[in-house]
Structure 1
Amino acid sequence: MVFAVKLHLFRVSNSNNEVVFSKGALQKLGAAPGEHLSFKIGACHRFSAKAAVSTDRRAALGLPSDVFDELGLALIDGLHVKREGDTIHIGPTIGIMGAGKFDPERRHQQDMLNYAQTQGYIAFLFSPEDYNWATNTITGETMPGHRQPGLPLPTAIYNRIHTRDEEHKLRVEAIKNRMRALGSHIYNPGFFDKWEVHEHLMHGQKLRKYLPETHRAPTPALLKKILGRHHSAYLKPVDGRGGKMLMRLTKREKGYRLQWLTDLSCPHANFVQLEDAFEFAFCHTSLDQYLVQQSLDFSSFDGRSVDCRVQMHKDISGTWRCLMIGPRVCAHGCISSHFSQGADIVGTDDYFINAFGKKADTVKAAVEECGFAIAHRMDEYHTSPIGELGLDVGIDKSGHPKLLEINAKPGRMIFLDPRHAEARVSTLEASIDYGAFLSGFGEDPE
């Protein structure tokens, strides 16, 4: 790895096409006064200039006023600079691609910008519509309320487009492909297909202990076999998100109970025959678009089932870190731990000690081990880099973790709880730092 130096940044007027370095900075970069150098900012923004020396005692870099103003660098105290051959790379440049000013994660994204500026990163918010095809530049938000045109195409783009419908629009796909072709690294490339993910994980022999029994395209005969082994089963849409269209079928002493999620409630219906429950569940739905997954004998808190959101993030060295294990307690009578369904948050230690007593630390370590194993395997799932995963992990009463679902773009609602304030900060910092790593300004693993 070519190591970068962080230099204090200042604006140079009437520069005569010069970039001004302090003497120490020039030496660190192995350049000489008067040397003509090529400078690169972002994926494809280049300019040439002659190196000059300033009397500044600090390690400093003075950029021509047109470059300084065009890139909106007034808010950044320092930038990272490294040399590869005759090219000086200035950066990193990181774009956070979302839904624009109406993005529901706007506060979180603006906190990312603030962090990026303190680290000396060029960062901005933008939506796909902000990309200029003619100039390969972006109109981005560099600070709250300030949008600036002409920003360089970022070397790293953090994809937080938060709906499948928006992600799959042809213009969005075309823009992402164009950005990749020009050299941008788009991390978190898109949403996952639950069945494809399950098959990918099943090929990892050591991971099978974490995977509940799962099948695609349920039939009455298949459901009967699963209910004979597990008492109840979940019916999940392959491309579902947020618990939408989730159902649970339970075998009772006389007949079957089918529960399903609506926006605000969890109604149910009872059936004598399995075939009647099946027809009710799938009368308007393609069977091929659903999975059937065994239900677990979940550990509980206050008499309610619990699962855990496990936040896995890559850091500035490109290394996976487990930054949070957040237990979520289902509402009474509900089949989902989503907050829209009335789920509660409980303290991590409170849950593990309450549920597992003296085994609490051992079970918690097993959940972390599950998180790392899944995350490393998912690196092979997609050709584009993955920077974060939100794993929904259930823990049975014996303390064994099972993967329920992987979220490609995990939601942020859990961070509204003050008990996860530290994890909120560490996850947003990791999301930006991984962009620095992809931009070529990373650090060696510890």
Structure 2
Amino acid sequence: MNQPGSSLILTAPRKSLLAWGLRDGASVPLVCGKLQGIAEIKQSAQQEQTTSLRWAGGRLDLQIQGVAGQIVYSQAEGLRIGPVIGIMTTGVRRDIKKPIGGRTSLLGDFVRASRELNVLCYVFNAADVNFSAGTVSGVTMTGPPGRETWTFGRFPLPEVVYNRVPHRRAETLPDVKRCKERLERMGVPMFNERFLNKNEMYRWLSGDKRSSTYIPETERMRTADGLQRFCLKHQLIYLKPTGGSLGMGIYQVERDKQGYLVRYKREKNHVTTRFVNAEAVLQFVRRRSHPKSTYLMQQGIRMMEYQGRKTDFRVHLHKNSVGAWEAAGIGAKVAGSTSVTTHVHNGGRVVAGDKVLRAWYGERAEQMKARIVEVSIRVADVIQGLLKGESGEFGLDVALDKDGQVWVFETNAKPGRAVFRHTELIEAGKRSARMVLEYGAYLSKFPLNRGGGVDEPKRLDPHRSAR
């Protein structure tokens, strides 16, 4: 979206011009993200190896010390620089050490992966997009591998956006809503549209025959009579807030002859309290919750145990470079000795999923792993129908019972990455980050070429589209 009267100037080394078959002073069509127009080609000075793009709103330097990105050329369509993938979030600030605050490490995983794949990727605040100029103020990494530094700059509007707005409240901010609406009107693909509400998620999954078999029975908690009936049907249940995360606010309720045993986390301790009837349980949960909180009742599953502790799995699914679901990694979450859930935040720990499955099933471990992945992909196929636009990843909490039945407890549309900090899952975490960029390149229809952060000049077959 080049502004009227503005010009593009691409300055490149002589070897690049020779590779493309272009001469100094030529004028060719050029596209970089949503920036497009006719570019004047200039040969750089004799010793200068930088390729730079200048336009009215800024400048990009593409080389190993500058931003990553590839340049492809075809006689039919001219030059294209990219793929240009923007990571939309909130909280970006002018701090070269922690530009995204506490999420700098998390989002840095994706920017580092973009440099490995030679993708032009930057992180930006939803409020920092100048739609009239077609530019975005953002932050990326520059410098040689292993010594990268965060660098602020002005970039062309991206051709694909990865939504990493950090929480539900941020999704309601006016700047975020406006940015999403404008990008949608422009036809810019965005994946990971929004967080899921547990109530809508369970209703959606339970109502589809492809997934209903794997979802524990779940109902909204409304009255003491409803809670009592649910507990009579299921001796063990969990009460979950519809907008909760990290296992916070969850209660385990077990019925016995004396009434109801309720286990929960109070400050840093895990506590068990007995109640004589369902009304007392209901009032207790409501007193400890926000007045606007709503709770779900979910059938408890007697899941398999590892080293005497209940254990489930985080399955991190991605769409890959051809748009198909693939498991980047599986981590086992082992509950703490008195924990209500397996979340690390509640005292759990992470173990490599393969290690746990081998301990349980021996030679059948790969078969059971394949079954977990198969069910996870089925559920992902269903849940993406609930979301508008593209779904690029899901984090699923999956368990096995003693009969080998697969159960899916949660489907997270914006999964955390804490599981990948485990020593045995670090490589899976790197693969996961790369797959985010590969899927973004797939949506952009850019011919991705892996390659170390240096823009390699390429000339495409004139009969093959670069787009």
Q: TM-score range by the shorter chain?
A: 0.7 to 0.9
Taking only the aligned residue pairs, the percentage that are identical comes to 26
Q: For 1:43-442, what aligned pairs fall within 5 Å after superposition? A: 43=34, 45-49=35-39, 70-74=59-63, 75-76=66-67, 79-81=70-72, 86=77, 88-98=79-89, 99-100=91-92, 101-143=99-141, 146-283=150-287, 289-441=294-446
Judging changes above 3 Å, is the alpha-carbon distance between structure 1 residues 33 and 102 closer, same or farther for their aligned structure 2 residues? Answer: closer
- The one-letter code matched in structure 2 to 1:423 is A
Structure 1 residue ranges without an equivalent (≥5): 1-9, 14-18
Secondary structure of 2:270 counterpart: coil
Q: Within 2, Cα distance between the matches of 1:82 and 1:159?
A: 30
Counterpart of 1:6 in structure 2 is none
Could you give the per-residue CA deviations for residues 112-137 of structure 1, whole angstroms, max 9, x where no partner exists?
22331232211112222332354231
Q: Within 2, Cα distance between the matches of 1:244 and 1:232?
A: 19
Q: Within 1, Cα distance between the matches of 2:267 and 2:241?
A: 16
- Contact kept, 8 Å, 1:80 with 1:441, in 2: the verdict is no
Judging changes above 3 Å, is the alpha-carbon distance between structure 1 residues 395 and 95 closer, same or farther for their aligned structure 2 residues? Answer: same
Question: Which TM-score applies when normalising by structure 2?
Answer: 0.81
Deviation at 1:179, TM superposition (A): 2.5
Deviation at 1:72, TM superposition (A): 3.7
Could you give the per-residue CA deviations for residues 80-135 of structure 1, whole angstroms, max 9, x where no partner exists?
43659656432100112233224433124223223312322111122223323542
- Contact kept, 8 Å, 1:237 with 1:291, in 2: the verdict is yes
Could you give the per-residue CA deviations for residues 338-395 of structure 1, whole angstroms, max 9, x where no partner exists?
1121101223233113333454333222111111111222232212211111000121
Deviation at 1:25, TM superposition (A): 3.3
Judging changes above 3 Å, is the alpha-carbon distance between structure 1 residues 109 and 82 closer, same or farther for their aligned structure 2 residues? Answer: farther
Q: Within 2, Cα distance between the matches of 1:286 and 1:401?
A: 35
Judging changes above 3 Å, is the alpha-carbon distance between structure 1 residues 379 and 183 closer, same or farther for their aligned structure 2 residues? Answer: same
When the two structures are aligned, how many residues end up with a matched partner?
Answer: 421
- Contact kept, 8 Å, 2:57 with 2:135, in 1: the verdict is no
Higher relative contact order (CA 8 A, sep 6+): 2
Which has the larger share of helix?
Answer: 1
Judging changes above 3 Å, is the alpha-carbon distance between structure 1 residues 425 and 288 closer, same or farther for their aligned structure 2 residues? Answer: closer
- The one-letter code matched in structure 2 to 1:25 is W
- Contact kept, 8 Å, 1:97 with 1:160, in 2: the verdict is yes
Deviation at 1:310, TM superposition (A): 0.3
- Contact kept, 8 Å, 1:20 with 1:53, in 2: the verdict is no
- Contact kept, 8 Å, 2:67 with 2:140, in 1: the verdict is no
Q: Within 2, Cα distance between the matches of 1:150 and 1:223?
A: 55
Pairwise CA RMSD: 3.1
Q: Which runs of 4+ in 1 moved over 6 A?
A: 31-35, 51-54
- Contact kept, 8 Å, 1:11 with 1:63, in 2: the verdict is yes
Q: Within 2, Cα distance between the matches of 1:122 and 1:344?
A: 36
Structure 2 residue ranges without an equivalent (≥5): 1-9, 93-98, 142-147, 449-467
- The one-letter code matched in structure 2 to 1:73 is L
- The one-letter code matched in structure 2 to 1:421 is I
Counterpart of 2:30 in structure 1 is 39
Q: Within 2, Cα distance between the matches of 1:82 and 1:209?
A: 51
